[in-house]
Structure 1
Amino acid sequence: MVSGALHLGPRTKAQASCVIVHGRGQSPEEMQSHILARLDAPDVAFVLPRAAKGAWYAAKAVDPLTSGTRAALGAALNQLEADVEEAKAAYPGLPLLLAGFSQGACLSLEYAFAGLSGVDALIAFTGCRVGRASDDRPASLRNGLPVYLTGSDADPWIPVTAFAEAALELGRGRAKLRADLFPGRGHEVSDAEIDMMRSVLADLAGGQNIGMAAAR
């Protein structure tokens, strides 16, 4: 069985780095084919973490937090933190984008809300907070963190209510937020979302403020 993060892109002359977290039942290779193959980012180095059993935790994101889910989530966050630190060490001094899809997006949001370091911007394709608003969840989001959050009213895994709740919490945490809801989109990453990721990476690589101005 394949293990360990997948590294792609230029080892030298990179201008930015990006850690992309796969969803439940997926792999780094699927993120490569579903997302990276559609990007034009030749000056970005990518690190794609790999969940040991194809999932970062067993529960659905919108289930109440149990002690078992908290433990699994904590272990996943520790692994993601190690992968982020590996990317920062491999590409020192470069800005870093943390991105994820579905369960990977949820884990990436939890990373940011836990106040873990090393991230200059966050993209959560079809993501929400893990657990429910009534659960005791961390709220140590960095003030002004650029965040792009997406969802769909037709997604079977992340309800619109959970997407909206995540947007509300990001707003309360004073993120620099753009949230896009794509009516009718299935459980996938649309071309418009890819265009936004390309725009964010271009701003990071160019040393510019992140505008998140790509069209919907």
Structure 2
Amino acid sequence: MHKREIHTAGKELREAKKVLVLLHGRGGSAKEFLSLANDLNTQDFAILAPQATDFTWYPNSFLTPVQQNEPELASALALLKELLEDIIESGVATENIYFAGFSQGACLSLEFVARNAQKFGGVIAFTGGLIGEELDFNKYSGDFQGTPIMITSGDPDAHIPTKRIENSVEILEKMNASVQYKRYKNKPHNISAEEIEFANQVIFS
């Protein structure tokens, strides 16, 4: 189960009008992932980066049956729910709350917002898709009300199949998200300068 460990940068939460939640990938560090905000147009944001216990949000591939990633997945989602509630209680409106993740963190970001769809500021999935062996639309609810969601990936990517991303885009669009999906030919499994530029254009412009 995930312990609450939140690393921060940027403005103090009580002073910020906008908040970005950053979710690191498998084996990653929240403290290191905070540096991503230096390249994004988030100068006036409070930046919050939860740390996954043992550096992993859930143990197995995001393409395995959900039960095989429990109870860690449920714990990660509960942590994000608690964090979202704390941000709202601090006075930040949901339309000014943003999420961004890479790889496993990107999958978790998409899964969380799809299960709690509402008008967010924006969502960035640097190489990710919705979680589960099969995608079940019935477990997702709410209305994104035009929330901009950006998904990127390598073409191909060894960890995130293109078909899963396309299916995720379809579900998110049915929930009234404004999705932009971009693939980069032969891009390694990382976050490239081109993806950061794209994020600044479509999410933080």
TM-score (norm 2): 0.85
Letter in 1 for 2:85: E
| Structure 1 position 117, deviation (Å) | 5.7
The more displaced of 182-191 and 154-163 is 154-163
Computed over aligned residues only, the root mean square deviation of the Cα atoms, in angstroms, reads 2.5
Give the direction of change, closer, same or farther, for the CA distance of 1:132–1:141 in structure 2 (3 Å limit): farther
| Structure 1 position 192, deviation (Å) | 2.2
- SS of alignment partner, residue 177 of structure 1: strand
Letter in 1 for 2:178: K
Match of 2:60 in 1: 59
Match of 1:182 in 2: 184
The answer as to whether partners of 1:155 and 1:187 remain within 8 angstroms in 2 is: yes
| Structure 1 position 83, deviation (Å) | 1.9
CA deviation vs aligned residue, 1:173-210 (integer Å, no higher than 9, x gap): 2311111111111111111221233345544xxxxxxx
Letter in 1 for 2:103: S
Q: Does 1:37 align with 2:73?
A: no
Give the direction of change, closer, same or farther, for the CA distance of 1:114–1:3 in structure 2 (3 Å limit): closer
Letter in 2 for 1:65: V
The answer as to whether partners of 2:122 and 2:203 remain within 8 angstroms in 1 is: no
Give the direction of change, closer, same or farther, for the CA distance of 1:192–1:13 in structure 2 (3 Å limit): farther
**Correspondence list, 1:48-127, <5 A:** 48-66=49-67, 68-90=68-90, 92-93=92-93, 95-115=96-116, 119-127=120-128
Letter in 2 for 1:78: A
The answer as to whether partners of 1:21 and 1:108 remain within 8 angstroms in 2 is: yes
Q: More strand by proportion, 1 or 2?
A: 2
Matched-pair identity in %: 28
CA deviation vs aligned residue, 1:57-93 (integer Å, no higher than 9, x gap): 1110112222x42432211100011222233344534
| Structure 1 position 51, deviation (Å) | 0.8
> What is the aligned length?
200
The answer as to whether partners of 1:19 and 1:47 remain within 8 angstroms in 2 is: yes
CA deviation vs aligned residue, 1:144-165 (integer Å, no higher than 9, x gap): 2221111122322112222222
Q: More helix by proportion, 1 or 2?
A: 2
- SS of alignment partner, residue 171 of structure 1: helix
The answer as to whether partners of 2:21 and 2:98 remain within 8 angstroms in 1 is: yes
- Flag structure 1 segments of 5+ consecutive residues without an equivalent: 204-216
The more displaced of 37-46 and 48-57 is 37-46
Match of 1:131 in 2: 132
- SS of alignment partner, residue 152 of structure 1: strand
The answer as to whether partners of 2:148 and 2:203 remain within 8 angstroms in 1 is: no
CA–CA separation in structure 2 for the residues paired with 1:141 and 1:192? 31
CA deviation vs aligned residue, 1:123-164 (integer Å, no higher than 9, x gap): 111011111236576121524222111112232211222222
